[in-house]
Amino acid sequence: MNSFGRPLTRNEDPRLLRGEALFVDDVELPGLLHVAFFRSPHAHAHLVSLDVTAARAREGVVAVVTAADLGDYWQPGPLLVPPPPVPGMVFNQRCQVPLVRDTARHVGEPVAMVIAASRYIAEDAVGDISAEWETLPAVGDLEAALASGTAYVHADLGTNVAAEVHQARGDYDAAARAAHLILKRRFTYDRGASIPMETRGVVAQWDPRADRLTVWDTTQAPVVIRNGLAGMLGLSERQVRVVAPNIGGGFGPKMMMFYPEEVLVPWAAMRLGRPVKWIEDRLEHFFATTHERSQIHDAEIALDASGKILGVKDVFLHDTGAYDPYGLTVPLNSQCTLLGCYVVPAYDSRFTAVFTNRTLVTPYRGAGRQHGVFVMERLLDLAARELGLDRAEIRRRNFIPADAFPFDQGVIYQDFSRLSYDSGDYEPILDKALAAIGYADFIARVQPEARAAGRSLGLGLVCYVEGTGIGPYEGAKVQVQSSGKVSLATGIGSQGQGHATAFAQVVAEQLGVDVRDVEVTTGDTDQFYWGVGTFASRGAVVAGSAAHEAAKVVRQKVLKTAAAHFECAEEDLVLADGKVHVAGVPDHAITLGKLAGLANPMRGAVTPGTEPGLEATSYFGPASGATASGVHAMIIEFDAGTLRPTILDYVVVHDCGTVINPLILAGQIHGGVAQGIGNAFFEQLAWDENGQLLNASLADYLIPTALDVPRMRLEHTVTPSPLNPLGVKGAGEAGAIPVGALFAQAIEDALQLPARGIEILEMPLGPSRLFEITQRG
């Protein structure tokens, strides 16, 4: 078949293109009730009193639920990711609560749940609710949050420190003493939001006859939600079915968050005995769905005279928002990914995660890796300038050599294993990128000519790595149906990554069937019991490998059954076109569907050691993650008058190991770059001093349009991962990671800022802020 590795179009597309695919808000049930929330208008306030009587009295309102009404069900959500096993680490666990009981800690925190005959009426009733608040100072600025005399987000803690982690190896002080050059700068990266086009939503239905709860949830991790909800609601896991149908984009914040709404809607459905739906609106989304990105780094690099890195020291603050249920994944990623493609003999990194009166921070595409890459790539740009080195050359001199893999970075990664790069070869990637963007010609001819003509052209060139494909595990069940089609079920959810095609390719390769005949089910806990979720660029690596293993076992069963049927040796059999035949006798074939029937006989015993059917379930758990890498290069032009940029060329050279489907991979890269461009140039949540969000609409929080994202040119190198049977590495986040660093370098280059003593040390950077910075020079 050779479907593996080919740019096949997607199995999931026709239904999506006809508007037939099921999304959570498409679920309609008889007697369905609708939810709207009364949310805190304040970033930080004591709830003095709450009056819901008028809301309860409104016609069409079925129930209004406050914290007091929840009884024992009111409790902080689970800690989803525990803190890492780093000696001396501090972690203050404060998980989000379902409804504000006494203190609201961010604008939009839910206070009361209104359940009514329609969302319209529910919103009317929200307007009937009155609350008396005693406002408290809002904690926003990260440094002020740690100063004495500040307000505390969690008063009982007596500090706004959520966590402190120090990781170090080598002797940075010695490296600094030996250095020819030390550069120290402050870098800042501000908050953004993931903005999937589909907001979050939950529909829950309790069926008293089946004694089961069904929950349709826009989650990236249905199995984890199933397990958690069962525990909270006093049910067995088998009584709860969580379905993540088609999900309209996830990008991280739709992970197993146990959001308040996610916990409350199933509870309400059980209590009321009626199905209940909550669909987040876009306004709610800006406050209630998690954010990412605020960090402040004070970073220092020590180099020898040749530009070789001797050491890096970094101290940074990380904004975790009002609660920290997702542990330290984001700052750990920043801490680890800063090391990049480079040999850094001495590394000393310390971060403090800080509680603020803002929406929670959890991983969003890139998940902290942006920050690390931004700091390191900027430091290298500054160093190159100081040392009179070419920006490509200083990177090349510090690359981890191809023969040094696996390369132990000696720090604890987000999966709590020691960060070790499994494989890679960075110079060919850089060389391809330089050639593709026309680096030498740009420096020698294009840029000087443009400048002579009064044009502001600049180039950006940055390198990055991405830790992908972490454990613990995923599983897959492969089954030959009597129709001859092959089903594959896995526990992860899909949010557009093309799993129904990529996994089908993996299975088709083993079973000799058409990719269109592999029916993939993801995101339904009744179809596959075990799993973790779609995040950290792990779907293809972990679930894809599990699918591969399961398909291999089914292949053996097919061969065994067919050998018995043909009375021949298994080695003599050929699987092709959904059939099996004896080599050389293709006209005499039996279909997989018929073989499935033979494997499930109506008479005769299933003998010990055998199982009915052509089916297998396998699991795959990598010991550690596979490290992908790449180089982005960009040519940008600025209108020197307005400071508006136009991207003239954009090149991505990427190594994510073996490629299952180049078309889908290209889509993943394109989408990542687009979000990176948004993050670098457009997307910044703006807050006032009271913790109010100032741009909570899509007219004010700007995500890139088709006119803002350039045509991208993609090239690949392939260094297969030795850590999984397919040799694949994750690719979902790669596109987004280096773009901030790339913009910064390109802006400096285009506007000739270094000559004016101006450095770009922050992201995002819109034209207004850029104007302000350039006025300082």
Within 490-509, the residues that bind another protein by CB under 8 A are 495-498
How distant, in Å, are the alpha carbons of 20, 544, 660 from that of 730? Answer: 29, 11, 11
Of residues 756-775, which lie at the interface with another protein (CB under 8 A)?
Answer: 766-768, 771-772, 775
Type and span of the H or E element at 63: strand 61-66
Region near another protein per CB under 8 A, out of 17-25, 324-332, 339-347, 402-410: 17-25
Contacts of 3 (CB under 8 A, 6+ apart): 504, 505, 508, 509, 514, 515
Q: Would you give the DSSP letter of residue 423?
A: -
- Locate tokens 């037939």: which residue? 20
Nearer to another protein (CB atom), residue 126 or residue 400: 126
Evaluated on CA atoms 666, 672, 674, 676, the torsion sign reads negative
What residues does 580 pair with on adjacent strands? 575, 590
Mark the segment that binds another protein (CB under 8 A) among 154-162, 256-264, 662-670, 747-755: 662-670
Nearer to another protein, 111 or 773 (CB): 773
- Whole-number minimum distance, CB 195 to another protein, in Å? 6
Question: Can you tell me which of 6, 25, 56, 207 binds another protein, judged by CB under 8 A?
Answer: 25
Dist CA 405 CA 399 (whole Å): 12
Q: In this complex, which beta carbon is closest to another protein, that of residue 282 or of residue 418? A: 282
Whichever of 453 and 602 has its CB closer to another protein, that residue is 453
> Is residue 241 part of the contact set for another protein (CB under 8 A)?
no
Query: What's the 3-state SS for 460-492?
Result: EEEEEEEEECCCCCEEEEEEECCCCCEEEEECC
Q: Nearer to another protein by C-beta: 124 or 524?
A: 124
Residue 474's Cβ-count burial label (10 Å; 0-12, 13-18, 19+) is buried
Lay out the site mask for another protein across 617-646 (x = CB under 8 A, - = otherwise): ------------------------xx-x--
By the rule CB under 8 A, 514 interacts with another protein = no
Taking the mean position of all CA atoms in its chain, how far away is CA 541?
A: 14
> Considering only residues 21, 90, 343, 648, which one is a binding residue for another protein as defined by CB under 8 A?
21
Q: Say whether residue 130 binds another protein (CB under 8 A).
A: no
**Residues in 708-747 at the binding interface with another protein, rule: CB under 8 A:** 708-709, 711-712, 735
- CB atoms near residue 571 (< 10 Å): 8
Q: Are 55 and 64 in contact (CB under 8 A)?
A: yes
Q: Determine, following the binding rule CB under 8 A, whether residue 57 of this chain makes contact with another protein.
A: no
One character per residue 244-263, x = contact with another protein (rule: CB under 8 A): --xxxx-x------------
> Which strands form 45-51's sheet, in the order they lie side by side?
103-104, 45-51, 130-135
CB neighbour class for 664 (10 Å; exposed up to 12, middle 13-18, buried from 19): buried
Q: To 10 degrees, what angle do helices 260-272 and 222-233 make? A: 50
**C-beta of 544: minimal distance to another protein in Å?**
17
Shortest Cβ 754–another protein spacing (Å):
22
Q: Do 79 and 90 touch, CB atoms closer than 8 A?
A: no
Cβ distance to another protein smaller for residue 238 or 282: 282
Distances (CA, A) of 134 to 47, 356, 518: 7, 18, 59
Q: Which is nearer to another protein, 161 or 636 (CB)?
A: 636
Tell me, by CB under 8 A, how many residues bind another protein: 77
Q: Which of 704, 730, 740, 764 binds another protein (CB under 8 A)?
A: 704
Residue 606 touching another protein (CB under 8 A): no
Q: CB of residue 457 vs another protein: minimum separation in angstroms?
A: 19
Cα distance between residue 136 and residue 392, in whole Å: 51
Contact with another protein (CB under 8 A): which of 5, 9, 143, 752?
9
Q: How far is the CB of 767 from another protein (least distance, A)?
A: 7
> 472 preceded by cis ω (within 30°)?
yes
Among 186, 238, 282, 588, contact with another protein (rule: CB under 8 A): 282
Say if residue 549 is exposed, middle or buried (CB neighbours under 10 Å; 0-12, 13-18, 19+): buried
State the minimum distance, in angstroms, from the CB of residue 480 to another protein. Answer: 24
* Region of 281-289, 300-308, 352-360, 416-424 interacting with another protein (CB under 8 A): 281-289
The b/e string for 482-510 (b: 16+ C-beta within 10 A; e otherwise) is bebbbbbbbbbbbbbbbbbbbbbbbbbbb
* Cβ atoms of 324 and 353 closer than 8 Å: yes
Chain residues 331-390 in contact with another protein, contact rule CB under 8 A: none
Which of 220, 675, 721, 745 binds another protein (CB under 8 A)? It is 675
User: End-to-end distance of the chain based on CA atoms, in angstroms?
Assistant: 62
Rounded to a whole number of angstroms, the minimum distance from the CB of residue 684 to another protein is 8
Site for another protein in 188-217 (CB under 8 A): 194-199
Reference 564, options 516, 510, 601; nearest CA is: 601
Query: Angle, to 10 degrees, between the axis of helix 739-750 and the axis of helix 369-387?
Result: 30
Q: How far is the CB of 769 from another protein (least distance, A)?
A: 8
Letters for 105-124 (x = contact with another protein by CB under 8 A, - = none) are --------------xx--xx
Q: What is the C-alpha to C-alpha distance for residues 764 and 770, in angstroms, rounded to an integer?
A: 10
Q: Which stretch binds another protein (CB under 8 A): 314-322, 477-485, 583-591, 689-697?
A: 689-697
Nearest distance in Å: CB 688, another protein = 10
Minimum distance between the CB of residue 37 and another protein, rounded to whole angstroms? 12
Interface of this chain with another protein, residues 293 to 332, rule: CB under 8 A: none
Stretch that binds another protein, among 48-56, 590-598, 667-675, 739-747 (CB under 8 A): 667-675
Report the distance separating Cα 738 and Cα 749, nearest Å: 17
Check binding of 49 to another protein (CB under 8 A). no
Residues 524-583 that bind another protein (CB under 8 A): none
For residue 698, how many other CB atoms are within 10 A of its CB? 13
Of 673, 723, 753, 758, the one binding another protein by CB under 8 A: 673
